[in-house]
Amino acid sequence: MVYPNPTQGEIKIESKHQIGLVSIYNLLGKKVMETQLTNNVLKITKLPNGIYFIKVKTEKGISTQKIVKGNF
């Protein structure tokens, strides 16, 4: 689960399984961020406002979700 969505720059990621690599892609499919998540909080303040896809890798597989970043 990824929340809050939409976000202003910080998202929390929760999973029943151990979270590993987290990747964020823009609408063109270009990877704009990749990190090893350690505390279940990901700061995306450096990314411009827009729509992104976040891929969360766990030992059970990969989950993809659309996220929106903006000033709300």
Exposed / middle / buried, residue 23 (Cβ in 10 Å: 0-12, 13-18, 19+)? middle
Q: Please identify which residue in the block is written with the tokens 């910080």.
A: 10
Q: Quick one: what percent of the chain has pLDDT higher than 90?
A: 85
Given a cut of 80, is residue 72 above it in pLDDT?
no
Mean pLDDT, rounded, of the chain: 94
Set out the domains of the chain in order of their start, with CATH numbers.
2-69 (2.60.40.3080)
Model pTM score: 0.90
Q: Say if residue 49's pLDDT is above 90.
A: yes
